[in-house]
Amino acid sequence: MLTLKQQGDIYDLLCQGFSLEKRIPLATLALYLKEKGISYEELGYKKFRSLLNDLQFLECVTSEDKKRNDVFIIIHPFERFEKKESKKEKTLDEKEKTHISELLLSQYEGGKNYPLSAVSKFLFDSGVEIRNYGFGKMRKFLLAFDSILSVQGDEKDSSQFNVHFLKLKKVKDKTKKEEVKKENKKATKESPKKEVNPYDGLPLPKDNCFYIPSNLILSLKEFAKIALDNDTILKWIFKDYKKAYEKLWIVEKDDSYIFPLSLSSKDGDTLICAIKKATKGSPYTYFANFIGSDREKPKDVLDNHVYFASYEQDIHSLAALAIPEAWCYHYSKDKHIILKIYLQYTFFRIVNQNKLSYDKNSGYACFNTGLKNAEYEDIYAVLTKNSDKKIKQEYVFNGFAVSGGQGLGKIIVEHFNPLPLKASYISSSDELFFDPLAEIHTDYRHIILDNLNRFPIEYLQSLTFAFAEERNIVTSIIQAKNDYQRDKLYAKLEKAVSKNETLCQLLKLTLENAINKAKRMVSYDYRNALPSYFPTRDVMSLMLPLEFVSGSGPQAVLLIEKTASGNYQGQTMLTLKQCYVNARLIGALDNTFLNAKNIED
């Protein structure tokens, strides 16, 4: 019997290669697991099907074609949980049982058989999570509804299960009708009550009651490893908002309102969503400004721990002290925007690796910025322990300096031995260099549909020229005046492209050609595969340059990560701006395909 962790590991592995709620040929899944190093014999199973039957989230189904005997596997969402003594497991009470019975009878006709997988998907889509009631398998859950259905099939072969709905006589319930009439009369006599809003000004819970930018949905997909379409994820988030609203779980922090999500990250972290009031003139009242782990955001750690009396001036002094390089993008309003983000991410890593040095006797603290001056000496940030009650941060910033220099440089040498180490990101040389013999496995459909806004817009315009609907949407995107309009239009484009198989194939061919060219570029110069660190996910990756128009230079990157098998998994596609700072954390980007001056802000 597999442990919950073992099942979770296999589930994460399957989600890398397949989508949820889709039919997968048994042979395809078996080959995939074999390539990933999953051996059913080593796990203690005599047959591969025995392993599959033991996985809570898998379901075996057979082809509807009676002449064939094909077996398919369906991966259902897997909610990992452990029974805790402090929490009593919820049971299926009569009220909930009646509600679910009515739900099933409204969808299925009595006297007919339906595949167990179809009924399972319907209940999941309707918000019925069987594990909340203590059931691990859908078949056992349905057996509780024996008054309206029966589950038929071979106990040894779950792929043959069907649900047979009983023909029930419709009984006229006079008492129920009378109760409804009384309630209606009572409602007409009483004055209508206004819906009470327990949160001052927050939107009442319903679908689309606040705006969720598409980039947050994509981020959620990436670090939570969920293979659901955007509409399903949106409904899930609004359902969680409604629950938090009713249970009074929403917490106000600074200028945002935070509520928990029922989803969790691939590492098991609790996820939260923060919403914020929009400025006047916006097409929406509230919008989501963060979806992620319930931890300090990397960009906030520096601000929460270190007080800067003159932040802009201090950043300017750091840029002047360091080896000159581009610290902003083309058209950036902030001339040091890259340096600011770099310092935030560096400090986040320093804290996580316990490399912030502190001298108790003097009250001085110090960390290595990872930057160097013209003499290639390390540049340090010098801090002091805060003693001012009016300042909320733990430390107060004193200045940047190299060790041994005048003023702060002497303080560094006097109080810290050894000198503070810089943040490290690389644990193996494999993380630095691309292996040309390894294969790149890419879920093209997922990457294309979830990243249409990362393709060059001019290229999308030329590619959709022959397709009137998609061409008109792209034209509207070019003419859109704000991000809100563009997000809505890209969502519309995604739906249109998903139904246009010809256009999907063209985009797939485009991406394949760009990836193949990237591999040729790396074989010519290994530096064309850039290592990068993503603090939100705490992972090292490689970035391959993608060129969609010959001679235009890289216009995006493919983010790839090494798998246990030694091959690469294509995770997502990013714009050059989205990945610049993540690559800069590893080292300077001079003479690489990433040039800040050529990237528009």
| CATH code of the domain in which 35 resides | 3.30.420
Tens-place pLDDT, residues 147-178: 888 887 655 454 457 888 887 754 444 444 45
Q: Which amino acid belongs to residue 215? A: N
Across the beta sheet with 149-152, the strand order is 113-115, 162-165, 149-152
pTM, to two decimals: 0.59
Q: What is the helix (H) or strand (E) element at residue 474, kind and residue range?
A: helix 468-479
Tens-place pLDDT, residues 414-425: 999 999 999 999
Please name which of 380, 411, 387, 384 lies closest in space to residue 395, comparing C-alpha atoms.
384
Q: Are residues 274 and 376 in the same domain?
A: no
Q: How far apart are the first and last CA of the chain?
A: 53
pLDDT at 173: 46
Which of the given ranges, 35-39, 126-130, 394-398, 534-538, has the highest pLDDT on average?
394-398
Tens-place pLDDT, residues 200-237: 778 889 888 999 988 788 777 776 777 677 888 899 99
pLDDT at 67: 57
Q: For residue 110, what are the CA distances in angstroms to 100, 104, 107, 163, 167?
A: 16, 10, 10, 11, 4
Spell out the alpha helix ranges (H) of 373-419.
408-415
Q: Are residues 281 and 330 in the same domain?
A: no
Q: Are residues 269 and 314 in the same domain?
A: no
pLDDT value at 45 more than 50: yes
Residue 562, in any domain of the structure? yes
Q: How many CA atoms lie within 13 A of 498 on its CB side?
A: 13
Out of 92-106, 346-360, 465-479, least confident range: 92-106
User: Number of H helices and number of E strands within the chain?
Assistant: 19, 20
Q: What is the helix (H) or strand (E) element at residue 448, kind and residue range?
A: helix 444-450
Q: Are residues 438 and 538 in the same domain?
A: yes
Structural domain total, the chain: 5
Q: Are residues 502 and 578 in the same domain?
A: yes
Residue 89, in any domain of the structure? no
Q: What is the helix (H) or strand (E) element at residue 476, kind and residue range?
A: helix 468-479
Q: For residue 525, what are the CA distances in angstroms to 436, 521, 522?
A: 12, 6, 5
Does residue 20 contact residue 76 with C-beta atoms inside 8 Å? yes
How would you class 377 by CB atoms within 10 Å of its CB: exposed for 0-12, middle for 13-18, buried for 19 or more?
A: middle
CA pair distance 104, 220, nearest whole angstrom: 31
Tens-place pLDDT, residues 190-206: 545 445 556 777 888 98
Residue 420, in any domain of the structure? no
Out of 15-19, 62-66, 506-510, least confident range: 62-66
Residue 88, in any domain of the structure? no
Q: Are residues 450 and 576 in the same domain?
A: yes
pLDDT at 501: 93
Tens-place pLDDT, residues 457-490: 999 999 999 999 999 999 999 999 888 888 889 9
- Structural domain boundaries enclosing 32: 4-75
Cis preceding linkage at 418, omega within 30: yes
% of the chain exceeding 70 in pLDDT: 88
* Bridge partners for 253 per DSSP: 256
Tens-place pLDDT, residues 364-416: 999 999 999 999 999 999 999 999 989 999 999 999 999 988 889 999 999 99
pLDDT at 369: 97
Count the Cβ atoms, other than its own, within 10 Å of residue 306. Answer: 21
Length of the chain: 601
pLDDT at 107: 82
Q: Mean of the pLDDT values across residues 135-144?
A: 78
Q: Are residues 66 and 150 in the same domain?
A: no
Residue 147, in any domain of the structure? yes
CA pair distance 288, 468, nearest whole angstrom: 33
